[in-house]
Chains A and B, each alone.
Chain A
Amino acid sequence: MIEQRFKCPVCGEISVFHGNPGEQQVVVCPGCHSKGRITIPLLSRPNGHAIEVTHLKKVYGDLIAVNDISFAVRKGEVFAFLGPNGAGKTTTVEMIESIRQPTSGTIKLLGCDIRTDFNGVKEKIGILPQEFHSFERLTVRETLLYFSNLFKKKADVDEIISTLDLTDHKNMLYKTLSGGLKQRVGVAIALVNDPEVIFLDEPTTGLDPKARREVWGVIAGLRKKGKTVFLTTHYMEEAEFLADHIAVIHKGKIIAEGSLEDLIQRYGSDSILHIKKCKDAADVIAMLKQEGFPDASSEGNGDIAVKIDYKERVLEILSRLRHDCVEYDSVDIRRSNLEEVFLRLTGSKLMEEEQ
């Protein structure tokens, strides 16, 4: 039995269904209640946990950087560790990578206790440390060969170069590369030993949106290859785009964990219909409240927000507006996102937390 996400072609709602590989099912979208047929894919993700963290704690003097956290990362999934700067993401990942010593707790990496057998798993993991810069005066290919030669198990360096779209730059010195290319080289270095688990610590921090998308493409490619990816990030959209599973960390504690849909379902609000630049907004709000939309509210400048729980309610509102000849510019529907989940959980936006 495996878990698979499907996007509803009618309303766009993403739902999780369970089934055996290759099994066909008739399902009902929980968002718009429309029926459809799905097939659970044959290419299932392997079972078991790649990483198991239990009661992990890290204390520096009076500061508790990581406060008794437990979680597990399944093999073959992209696990995003999401939180603002200073939340404890890097401390946690560096404890798993055995760079830092935990104060207490246990960490199992590919079944090995890292306190006693980290050397045994070094060959099976690939790491991109935070703010990593490689040797300035080596070319891309030389850099990859250098790191590749440190391992017994070696991936084909030229294949990695080609996969990460670095062929045109393989003979360029590392120091002459752009930020995005450097990060791609960093990811490439993490792949030189064909690892089972890849740790990427803030791989897109400081990159421009285009470069960030490029790195996302690389990570999505790793997921397709069945690699387990442990990703730390403070970008909501990065976690939304890439992660199968998200753990939200705040002040050293995991405050929520699950798939994107789970988190939105549990901590997000319903979708919101925005009516833009509505004439006589106050009257329209009063009318909507009378019609059974008690949450209808003004957002200023004639904009109105109405919380809706299912698709038919949108049609209901639109036909009522047309019936009453209400004039407005446009409407749009916004789904809840991680930002809203974070706001609900912590009482502040992630960006505010960082400031």
Chain B
Amino acid sequence: MNFKIIGMDFVYSVKGWYRSRGGMFWSLAFPIILILLFGAIFSGVGNTKYTLYIQDEDQSQISEMFNTTLNSTKLFNINMVKPDVNITEYIKDKNIKAVIVIPKGFGDKVRLSEKVNLSFYYDPSDQTTVQVVRSVVTSILQQMNMEISHGSNIIGVSEIKTITENFNYIDFFLPGMIGFTIMQSAIYGSIERNTKYRKDGILRKLQTTPITRTEWILAKMLFMMFLAGITTTLISIIGILVFGMTVNITPLVIIIVIATSFLFSGMGMLIGRFVKEEETADTAGGAISFPMMFLAGTFFPLEQMPQFLQVVARVLPLYYVNEGLRNSMIYLNQNEALINGGVVIVFAAVFFISGVILTKWKED
């Protein structure tokens, strides 16, 4: 083994890396972004609070005691729902994951040692919140049962799923997977193509032909849309055949998928505009797509993240893609999906126009 050659190669690699300002920036910035991101997510795990809604129809001393005990655990951000509100509609409108309803006459029944049940409405796709609420409520009720009837189960819980069909985590996961895959292929594809075509002189050549930038970008986005269609179909087929999932392909899903491919192709074009070298393309793509993937609730619910990151997520386009697809495909909440889809379309238009304006064919 010739260590001299190995050493020389190492030195030249370092030199090359140093001279590639883009490569150096991305290779340093990417780990920094990741450590900041994951640090922010996981450093807050110990203090994570779950959002829980309570509708106290009883407004008695005993129901107040239950609420106070629940609050004292400091595990929940508790939001009170007015007693006269139709809880089923409320859950649907606000896309709520967990609600405890204390029925009217709760206090009286407890005092008379009659059996009474709290209602726990939950979204089965958000298993973490469900598990935490279930175990905390059960333990509080055990305590109360012990004090009231020395162990008899007077107070119980009846669980009600907020979505009628039987969904699993994979159902939650699938729309996120579709959004993420479209994003990955569109961003990486656009960046790599731009940098390679620039290096190979294809962009210079195209500039001297009658094709316009808008035509070219549209053509590329169309290709990305084609890929997005294939991806969505494949993932859905596998989901249905292998995991027995319930997938609803609505017209809104198709619109969101199309808008998503346009959105991320445009974003890739913009990033590609600033990435000069081919070898930097992958890193640049990763630096944008990976943080977005984790922050936008692709693989786990947004509620598990610290509050400030939830705010960050709401400015990310992938969040609206994921939510739109989930609402339309899984929860069948088409109104909410329509709003999400609208946001995705606005993002797509902004990135397409920016891509056309800022994609550069001319040299300085």
Contacts and interface: CB of A to CB of B under 8 A. Distances in A.
Contacts of B202: 132-135
B362 A129 contact: no
Q: Say what secondary structure dominates the interface of chain A.
A: loop
Given A99-B363, A100-B363, A129 B210 contact: no
Contact of A100 (B209, B210, B364): B364
Contacts of A129: 201, 204-205
Given A99-B363, A100-B363, A100-B364, A132 B205 contact: yes
Nearest to A101: B362
B65 to A, nearest CB: 71
Given A131-B201, A134-B202, A60 B208 contact: no
A151 B363 CA distance: 23
Contacts of A94: 204, 363
Contacts of A119: 210
A46 to B, nearest CB: 23
Interface string B332-364: 000000000000000000000000000001111
A189 B205 contact: yes
B211 interface: yes
Nearest to B212: A119
Nearest to B361: A99
B294 to A, nearest CB: 33
A189 B204 CA distance: 13
Nearest to B206: A150
Contacts of B364: 60, 100-101
B349 to A, nearest CB: 26
A99 B205 CA distance: 9
Q: Say what secondary structure dominates the interface of chain B.
A: loop
Interface string A113-135: 00000010011010101111111
> Chain B interface residue count: which class?
10 to 19
A150 B201 CA distance: 17
Given A132-B200, A132-B201, A134-B200, A127 B362 contact: no
Given A131-B201, A134-B200, A98 B209 contact: no
A133 B201 contact: yes
Contacts of B210: 119, 122-123, 150-152
A328 interface: no
Contacts of A293: none
B158 to A, nearest CB: 61
A147 interface: yes
Pick the most buried of B200, B204, B206, B211: most chain A CB atoms within 10 A of its CB: B204
B207 interface: yes
Contacts of A100: 362-364
A97 interface: yes
A132 B211 CA distance: 18
Contacts of B209: 122, 147, 150-151
Contacts of B201: 129-133
Contacts of A134: 200, 202
B363 A150 contact: no
Nearest to A147: B209
Contacts of B361: 99
A125 B363 contact: no
Nearest to B208: A127
A160 to B, nearest CB: 16
Interface string A65-96: 00000000000000000000000000000100
Nearest to A199: B208
B333 to A, nearest CB: 43
B110 to A, nearest CB: 74
A125 B208 contact: yes
A240 B122 CA distance: 84
A129 B198 CA distance: 11
A58 to B, nearest CB: 10
A68 B119 CA distance: 85
A60 B207 CA distance: 22
A150 B200 contact: no
Interface string B208-221: 11110000000000
Contacts of B362: 98-101
A48 B161 CA distance: 84
A245 B208 CA distance: 25
A270 B345 CA distance: 75
A101 B360 CA distance: 13
A189 B202 CA distance: 11
Nearest to A153: B210
A132 B199 CA distance: 8
A274 B206 CA distance: 52
B284 to A, nearest CB: 22
Interface string A129-149: 111111100000000000100
Nearest to A193: B209
A100 B364 CA distance: 6
18 contacts: A94-B204, A94-B363, A97-B204, A98-B208, A99-B207, A122-B209, A123-B210, A127-B208, A129-B204, A132-B201, A132-B205, A133-B201, A133-B202, A135-B202, A147-B205, A147-B209, A150-B209, A150-B211
Interface of A: 60, 94, 97-101, 119, 122-123, 125, 127, 129-135, 147, 150-152, 189
Interface of B: 200-202, 204-211, 361-364
Given A122-B210, A150-B209, 20 more contacts: A60-B364, A97-B204, A99-B208, A99-B361, A100-B363, A127-B204, A127-B208, A129-B201, A129-B205, A131-B201, A132-B201, A132-B204, A133-B202, A134-B202, A147-B205, A147-B209, A150-B206, A151-B209, A151-B210, A152-B210
Report, nearest first, the 8 A-B pairs whose CB atoms are least far apart.
A129-B201, A133-B200, A132-B201, A150-B209, A129-B204, A127-B208, A100-B363, A150-B211
